[in-house]
Chains A and B, each alone.
Chain A
Amino acid sequence: MATRKNIDRDVIELVERLTAGDSDAWAEFIERYRRLIYSAIVRANARFHAQWDETTMEEIFEEALFKLVRRRGKALASWKGECKLETWIYRIARNVCVDTLRKQVHRRECDEPGQQDGEPDRSTALSTASDVGRRDLRMSLDQAIERTLSPKEALVVRLIYFEGFTYREVADRLGMTVGAMSGFVYRALAKLRRDGGVARHWEER
């Protein structure tokens, strides 16, 4: 606990009570952080085009909560106070989302094996007007990712470029080596590059 020096006392106390097995601390912890956890899930749903329904979000929420407080909050032992507890919880919740996405991607690729390496569909051209704002750029990149990449490629590219995951983090979560992962990302980027609209976007800049 010595390293948690810049952290609020009441947060440290709550974590200590939780890890000491004080069962009142569970409810208190959940009440305090449930909004943060649920909003991480809502965001992930939107950002990854996950199309989760309410039941799925509820399941993810339950898993994330349970993961945090189970076994007397054992997971909290890995929080050393190097960042705010909120940031750390947000990451845990996001990781549960990523695990759900990974399983979902796996199912989708099993269901539609022909989709993975299909030629990009260029019929829906991207907006390339030079005055598009960043928001539009993000939207057209998002569309290009959805249209051009396999579900797994889309997940990996979004994790790295939109979510700030490192290669190692993504490789670990997906059970790949960093070497294999970087080759995989290269090929995904090459597909994106071949997408006419995306190419025009950055050639113009």
Chain B
Amino acid sequence: MRSTCPSEGELLRLVEGTLGGSDRERVESHVATCEDCGARVRALERLTEALRGAVRGAPEEAASCRESERVSGYADGTLAAGEASQVEAHLARCPSCSALLADLWRSPDGAAERGPDRAVDRVLGRLEREGRSAVVRIAERTLTVVTDFARSGAAALGAGLLPVSETPLAAAARAEPGEIRLSWVGSGGIALEGRVRLREGAPTLIARVTADGKPARAISVALRTPGSTRGPESPDPEGRIGPWPLEIGRNTVVLSGIDLDGGRLELELELVTHDRPDGE
């Protein structure tokens, strides 16, 4: 190939007729003058035609013929008389469309071909749970992580100020110098990893929301503190939100959106912060 020759992909797209406007003109005029590319294009034409021709004639195939749209109309009996007879003529020639028609007519025999009942039962069960999910998920809001730290921050943390988790969920919180880590894994593949940073007296929350390990951008996050409300906001492309300042008292992180099972997710996580008792 010469350096001015079009790329292999462009030659193929010329043959397939999917190259647009000026690209097509450029490649066409090159092919007209370049023997190598001309030969490549002719070879591609023969091969792609052989491939497509093979499937057009194969009796066991379906749904690749352009007529297949009208065949489904024919199956439903919604075509005008003239159109219906055209389709009938086509069906006589085209095994692919006849096979599709057989599928579309859904003959009632043969339990196996209806697909296993077990799978249908599981789907119905999943749909049931999905329908109830709003209720179920709200019941999970009991996750309350009580963090007992002083406003004065990092220095106080080592001294027995471990957060207490009062929750039946898989929630864990642990303290590290200068911050408290939270992690919560919920149903529907949604997880929240967060940190409460204790710096300069004012705790701040940074969190990352994920769905099956990937940033969960369909979930929006809001924070209600005793004095104000932040959000709801969509997480950034990495799934992060914050830093948001927390206040002493009850801080509620509200997650809402659609989870991976398609259920509606409404979830509140409470972070209760206390002032450290005097004199410690």
User: Are the CB atoms of A84 and B73 closer together than 8 Å?
Assistant: yes
Smallest Cβ distance from B13 to chain A, in angstroms? 5
Most B-side CB within 10 Å, residue of A62, A74, A157: A62
**Bound state CA distance, A41 and B48, in angstroms?**
26
Q: Contact: A35 with B113, CB < 8 Å?
A: yes
**Interface SS of chain B: helix, strand, loop or mixed?**
helix
Query: Chain A: which residue is nearest B10 at the CB level?
Result: A182
A70 CA to B130 CA, complexed, in Å: 8
For this complex, 13 residue pairs linking A to B, each with C-beta atoms less than 8 Å apart, are: A21-B131, A23-B131, A37-B115, A65-B119, A70-B261, A138-B57, A138-B58, A161-B51, A161-B52, A182-B12, A187-B8, A189-B48, A202-B46
Q: A119-177: which have CB < 8 Å to B?
A: 133-135, 137-138, 141, 157, 161-164, 166-167
Indicate if the CB atoms of B55 and A138 lie closer than 8 Å: yes
Cβ proximity bits B198-214 to A, threshold 8 Å, 1 near / 0 not: 00000000000000000
* Complex interface: stretch among A86-94, A99-107, A109-117: A86-94
B61 at interface, CB cutoff 8 A: yes
- Evaluate contact between A163 and B9: CB separation under 8 angstroms: no
- Which segment, of B121-129, B149-157, B163-171, B237-245, faces chain A? B121-129
* B47 contacts A193, C-beta separation under 8 Å: yes
> Counting CB contacts under 8 A, is B233 at the interface?
no
Partner of A134, one of B7, B11, B44, B57: B57
B interface residues (Cβ-Cβ under 8 A, vs A): 7-13, 16, 18, 43-44, 46-65, 68-69, 72-73, 75-76, 78, 100, 103-104, 106, 113-116, 118-120, 122-124, 126-128, 130-131, 258, 261-262
A188 to B9 Cα, complex, angstroms: 11
Cβ-neighbour of B9 out of A41, A164, A180, A193 (below 8 A):
A180
Q: Which residues of B contact A54 (CB under 8 A)?
A: 116
Expressed in whole angstroms, the minimum distance between the Cβ of A137 and any Cβ of chain B is 5
Contacts of A178 in B (CB 8 A): 13, 18
Interface string of A55-69 (1 = CB under 8 A from B): 000110110011001
User: Please, which residue of chain B has its CB at the minimum distance from the CB of A184?
Assistant: B9
CA–CA, A168 to B13, complex, Å? 11
Q: How far is the CB of B97 from chain A (nearest CB, A)?
A: 12
> Which residues from A are CB-within-8-Å of B131?
21, 23
CB of A4, distance to nearest CB on chain B (Å): 11
In the complex, the answer to whether B13 meets A182 with C-beta atoms within 8 Å is yes
Closest to A41 in B: B115
- Chain B residue nearest in CB terms to A62: B119
Judge whether B115 and A35 touch: CB under 8 Å: yes
Within 8 Å CB of A38, what residues of B?
A: 113-115
**Which chain A residue lies CB-closest to B62?**
A43
- Contact partner of A71 among B72, B78, B258, CB < 8 A? B258
Q: Which residues on B sit within 8 Å (CB–CB) of A198?
A: 47, 50
Q: Is B104 a contact partner of A135 (Cβ separation < 8 A)?
A: no
- Chain A min CB distance to B125 (Å): 10
CB distance A61 to B119 under 8 Å?
A: yes
Q: Contact between B115 and A189 (Cβ–Cβ < 8 Å)?
A: no
> Please, which residues of chain A bring their CB within 8 A of the CB of B57?
133-135, 137-138
Choose from A43, A74, A186, A192 the contact partner of B12 (Cβ within 8 Å): A186
With a CB–CB cut-off of 8 A, which chain B residues contact A205? Answer: 46, 50
Excluding A137-B57, A161-B51, A198-B50, 8 further A-B contacts by CB distance (< 8 Å) are A62-B122, A65-B123, A66-B126, A86-B104, A87-B72, A183-B9, A186-B12, A189-B48
Please judge, given known A-B contacts A38-B113, A58-B118, A202-B46, whether A66 and B103 are in contact too, CB under 8 Å: no
Whether the pair B51, A71 counts as a contact (CB closer than 8 A) is: no
Does A27 touch B at the CB level, under 8 Å? yes
Whether B62 and A83, one on each chain, are in contact in the complex, defined by CB atoms closer than 8 angstroms, is: no
Is A47 part of the contact surface with B, judged by Cβ < 8 Å? yes
Contact status A36-B12, CB under 8 Å = no
Instruction: For the complex formed, measure the closest distance between the CB of B23 and the CB atoms of chain A, giving whole angstroms.
Output: 11
Per CB-CB distance, the 8 closest pairs between chain A and chain B, nearest first, are: A134-B57, A182-B9, A38-B115, A84-B72, A183-B9, A161-B51, A164-B64, A186-B8
Please, how many angstroms separate the alpha-carbon atoms of A179 and B19 in the complex? 10
**A86 to B75, Cβ gap below 8 A?**
yes
A203–B49 CA distance with the chains assembled, in angstroms: 12
Q: Given known contacts A46-B60, A141-B50, is B11 in contact with A186 (CB within 8 Å)? A: yes
Chain A residues within 8 Å of B118, by CB: 58
B124 contact set on A, CB distance < 8 A = 26-27, 30
